[in-house]
Structure 1
Amino acid sequence: MDVAFSSILQWIILFITTCVILLLGFFYHKYSYWKTRGVPYEKPFLFFGNLSFAMRKSVWDFCLEVKRKHPRDYVGIFLAWQPTLLVQTPELARRILVKDHEYFQDRFLYSRKSDPLGSLNLFTLKNPKWSEMRHEISPMFTANRLKNYTKLMNMNAVELVRKIQRDYVDAKKTVDLKELFSMYTSDTVAYTAFGIRVSVLNDQPSPLWYITSHMVKWTFWRGFEFTMIFLIPAVAAILKFCFFSPKATEYIKKIFWDVVNDRNKVGKSSDKDLVNHLLKLKENLKLPADSGSELADNLMLAQAAVFILGAIATSATTLSYALHELAYNSEAQEKLFNEVSKAMVQSGKDVLEYEELVELKYLSACINETLRKYPPVAYLDRQCSKKYKLNDELIIEKGVPVFVNVLAIHYDENIYPEPEKWRPERINVSSDNDNLNFTFLPFGEGPRFCIGKRYGLMQVRAALAQIILKYQLKPAVPYNIKTDPYSVMLSPDKCSVKFVER
């Protein structure tokens, strides 16, 4: 009996030893990838690659640290065992995102068919379906539509100022800027997407705030899910993670179809919101004959879901950092106040319309410098679809992810001297579409640039113009704000200012 047990134990030990040796061999082979190609690389840690920071430090901070440690054109990193190239110059960004886009058409992140809202939205969708959907969604963001949206944004910006007065000035409470501005953007998106005119800013129950309040609060588990989805897709596939939680998915479906059914009952429709646009899109979609109506429905719902996420989180973050910087830069604050108040007097109105907001050059400069210093997304991910010659020394193989390190460009001392400082005068764009020769990429660039860029900028303009007219901003927290370690996108851990009535 003892001999038999000893023999079994030896076989178990041999099996475990063999597995460990094979596993170590696998990682040794993977971690030699950049060395054998002569590419400078960040030294990996076993199993985690260069992601051992995850859930302790933000992806945003990691990208900035890589830039400082490796101030070169490109550097190799490892997302767990996956070799990934991080490019860090405007010229390489131009090639990957625009000039040679045919080699880099899709994102690297994970999406699965069983998660339709996560896999069929414009952000995650693969070609060729992505090209068709992009073409169909673009009319949602024309100049005429944006002018109509601006009217609503102004209404919500006025409500925002009232809430600041009521809840933070009169009540003398500390403000959480990220939550406050998430409420503001949630009210705007509720109408833009679903035609629902409610105001969580005015303490009204909002069906959309039920979803978005969870979207802007990053828990450990939600951060882990998104880290796997964005950076280790293979693990996300094994664990069957979803881009949107099942609860959020069902709630978005309910809101969408409740709106549609209510309109059908009264026989009315709205040409102003996303619901109506998506219903028309469904009629025009060219889908496989055997796909049925479910695919068309999921394509509609996926666009609504990603619009909610994109329009709320990034604008709220940008507004939070803009107020924080203005609080610490009194001269810039007064210059902005003078510009906005002068325009308001000239208009003879209580709010500024679309054209008037766009014409405020210093307002745009303050917003753009905030986006330069605090881009919501630290990197732009692409996956190489066929062998690509980067230069005489390096061939990028099919399947290799290529990330454009936005922070490396935005913090390049040769492009932006003293990049740690917030200087609105240094960002002089000719229009909202000016990328300053690929040195300014907060919304990405090329065919996959952020389709809601002008919408997001207008949200920020409307709110900032109203706030600066009513209040002086004073610092309330230390200048250097920690980033949320659970968030894949930039998110301030704690951001607040003091509002002083003018």
Structure 2
Amino acid sequence: MDSSEYASLFKRCVTGILIGSFILLCLLIRKTYNYWKDRGIPYDKPIPIFGNLGFIMRKSIWDYCYEIRNRYPKDYFGIFLAWTPVLMVQSPELAKKILIKDFEYFPNRYLYSGYSDPLGSLNLFTVKNPLWKTLRYELSPMFTSLRLKKITELMNINATELVRKIKRDYIDKNNVANLKEIFSMYTSDTVAYSVFGIRVSILNDKPSPLWYITRHMVQWTFWRGLEFSMIFLVPLIASILRFKFFSGAATDYIKNIFWNVAKKRKESKTKNEEDLVNLLLKLKDKLKVSDEPGSPLADDVILAQAAVFILGSIETSSTTIAYFLHEIAHHPEVQVKLFNEINEAVKQKENDVLDYNDLLELKYLTACINETLRMHAPVAYLERLCAKNYKLDDNFTIEAGTPVFINVLAIHYNEKYYPEPEMFQPERFMSDIDNTNNVFLPFGEGPRFCIGKRYGMMQVKASLAQLLVHYKIKPALPYTVKTDPYAVIMAPKDGLSVKFVPR
């Protein structure tokens, strides 16, 4: 056989291998994307490779969850995150089983938690059992009523600075405020003390070491959005590409601040019993972390808690305040009732600043915040990973390893629980919503519900109580505003704006 015949045979072999590989790939894709069809479950039709992720970077995950509830008004249906079949649940009864009653079957989240990203993988939000249970127990003292009362005093100081900054920078200069940015400054000042015991005021135009990190959190760039989308939705890709929750610069900055504060306290032999640094240093001594290769280090674990507290405290609270003001600007009748409630409390207190107990008594303010959270839930879905085969109902058993997403927006906008769900009606929260039916889920539910719920609510209340005493809120934008297409959690596209008018 001469060289030309060898070459011809080689070409035929290569061609055969390529054709065979292509056929096998097609069969594998067909089998993968027939997963829900084979089980008789309705599903959103996928496209090869991407599954149902064709919307990424074009529209937000929030918008996807909002829209898909109308296409599939069912208790549950299937979707595909790239090649991974995911069960989307939209029934509060089933949500209760998954989040609370049968938590043992769904103890962990689905999102990426690889050890190449310790701050992203070891924090309370992402970490898996059994470490999660230990961290949850040890961090709970950070959110006791006594501690929150003391932190509320600082929140009120920062809220006073917020009122002054709005007058100084936006009323006197006739400028339009970017609400997401200015309230990120407010929450940043508060979290600087809550985490590190550092008293700073970026609101008063003074240098803030924490603002170096947090100012980037209010901007969803294409790259940041892609990183977070892969971490939350396609963990395998995030793992391969070593995507991170926090940038390398932010990670180094958090480490430097934390250990500098810890070093100074050790040298001066001082303690601050009120901040997270103190609690985390105690936690480090208690942690029994394995010294086997690949196991998490105690230093990484405690730094991860500081990092996620910063992100969670700033991102969700600032967005909630921004949407709250946008809503009441377009609902002046609501604003009048709010002002009357707060003003009455101020008169009784004989002080413009209301303390922790006073803020808890503002029932209508709480109702307005809850209605904002219902309509503009910071997280559009709650996700869990099925740990072992679970019989969801008489018709379907979830296989171990299957991600389960609970569509929060499908529940929050369900007319059965919230008549006229597209309308902003705080009065619906003046009577207790029966949370045992899982119809109000902005903070999650069950053992993995948001540990900082009360902290976040008080942070929002402290700022709004002072703002509404001093300013009327007028609309600066149309009522319907777009979400940021790069955002994984709820975020307004341009930060939102209103007009502040002195009373």
TM-score range, shorter chain: over 0.9
1:13, distance to aligned residue in structure 2 (A): 3.6
8 Å Cα contact 2:162-2:186 kept in structure 1: yes
Q: Is the alpha carbon distance of 1:162 and 1:36 closer, same or farther for their aligned partners in structure 2, counting shifts above 3 Å?
A: same
SS where residue 467 of structure 1 aligns? Answer: helix
C-alpha deviations, 1:369-388, integer Å up to 9, x for none?
A: 00000000000000000000
Task: Give me the whole-angstrom Cα distance separating, in 2, the residues matched to 1:373 and 1:293.
Answer: 41
1:491 paired to 2:491: yes
Identify the residue that residue 345 of structure 1 maps to in structure 2.
Answer: 347
1:239, distance to aligned residue in structure 2 (A): 1.0
C-alpha deviations, 1:9-33, integer Å up to 9, x for none?
A: 4444433333322222211101111
SS where residue 207 of structure 1 aligns? Answer: coil
Identify the residue that residue 478 of structure 2 maps to in structure 1.
Answer: 478
TM alignment of 1:354-365, pairs within 5 A: 354-365=356-367
Task: Give me the whole-angstrom Cα distance separating, in 1, the residues matched to 2:12 and 2:293.
Answer: 55
1:120 aligned residue (114, 119, 122)? 122
C-alpha deviations, 1:438-484, integer Å up to 9, x for none?
A: 10000000000000000000010001111111111111111111001
SS where residue 22 of structure 1 aligns? Answer: helix
Identify the residue that residue 425 of structure 2 maps to in structure 1.
Answer: 423
1:3, distance to aligned residue in structure 2 (A): 5.6
Task: Give me the whole-angstrom Cα distance separating, in 1, the residues matched to 2:120 and 2:291.
Answer: 23
1:438 paired to 2:438: yes
Q: Is the alpha carbon distance of 1:166 and 1:8 closer, same or farther for their aligned partners in structure 2, counting shifts above 3 Å?
A: farther
1:86, distance to aligned residue in structure 2 (A): 0.6
8 Å Cα contact 2:87-2:404 kept in structure 1: yes
1:277 aligned residue (254, 265, 279)? 279
Task: Give me the whole-angstrom Cα distance separating, in 2, the residues matched to 1:208 and 1:416.
Answer: 40
Task: Give me the whole-angstrom Cα distance separating, in 1, the residues matched to 2:293 and 2:366.
Answer: 45
Q: Is the alpha carbon distance of 1:220 and 1:289 closer, same or farther for their aligned partners in structure 2, counting shifts above 3 Å?
A: closer
1:467 paired to 2:467: yes
TM alignment of 1:283-322, pairs within 5 A: 283-288=285-290, 295-322=297-324
Identify the residue that residue 27 of structure 2 maps to in structure 1.
Answer: 25
Task: Give me the whole-angstrom Cα distance separating, in 2, the residues matched to 1:12 and 1:167.
Answer: 69
Identify the residue that residue 14 of structure 1 maps to in structure 2.
Answer: 16
Identify the residue that residue 240 of structure 2 maps to in structure 1.
Answer: 238
1:298, distance to aligned residue in structure 2 (A): 1.0
Task: Give me the whole-angstrom Cα distance separating, in 2, the residues matched to 1:352 and 1:378.
Answer: 32
Tell me the TM-score normalised to structure 2 length.
Answer: 0.97
1:369 paired to 2:371: yes
Tell me the TM-score normalised to structure 1 length.
Answer: 0.97
Task: Give me the whole-angstrom Cα distance separating, in 2, the residues matched to 1:454 and 1:126.
Answer: 23
After TM superposition, which residue ranges in structure 1, 4 or more long, deviate above 6 angstroms?
Answer: 291-294
Task: Give me the whole-angstrom Cα distance separating, in 2, the residues matched to 1:319 and 1:244.
Answer: 24
1:234, distance to aligned residue in structure 2 (A): 1.0
Task: Give me the whole-angstrom Cα distance separating, in 2, the residues matched to 1:248 and 1:127.
Answer: 26
1:102 aligned residue (90, 101, 104)? 104
Task: Give me the whole-angstrom Cα distance separating, in 1, the residues matched to 2:126 and 2:303.
Answer: 14
SS where residue 210 of structure 2 aligns? Answer: helix
Question: What letter corresponds to residue 496 of structure 1 in structure 2?
Answer: S
Question: What letter corresponds to residue 497 of structure 1 in structure 2?
Answer: V
**Any gaps of 5 or more consecutive residues in structure 1?**
none
Question: What letter corresponds to residue 405 of structure 1 in structure 2?
Answer: N
1:253 aligned residue (241, 252, 255)? 255
Task: Give me the whole-angstrom Cα distance separating, in 2, the residues matched to 1:168 and 1:25.
Answer: 61
Identify the residue that residue 73 of structure 2 maps to in structure 1.
Answer: 71
1:164 paired to 2:181: no
Percent pairwise identity: 61
8 Å Cα contact 1:375-1:490 kept in structure 2: yes
8 Å Cα contact 1:413-1:419 kept in structure 2: yes
Question: What letter corresponds to residue 264 of structure 1 in structure 2?
Answer: K
C-alpha deviations, 1:225-250, integer Å up to 9, x for none?
A: 11111001111111111222211111
Q: Is the alpha carbon distance of 1:428 and 1:341 closer, same or farther for their aligned partners in structure 2, counting shifts above 3 Å?
A: same
1:350, distance to aligned residue in structure 2 (A): 2.3
Q: Is the alpha carbon distance of 1:368 and 1:150 closer, same or farther for their aligned partners in structure 2, counting shifts above 3 Å?
A: same
**CA RMSD of the aligned region, Å?**
1.6
SS where residue 68 of structure 1 aligns? Answer: helix
8 Å Cα contact 1:175-1:496 kept in structure 2: yes
Count residues in correspondence. Answer: 500
Quick check: 395-404 or 24-33, which moved more?
Answer: 24-33
**Any gaps of 5 or more consecutive residues in structure 2?**
none
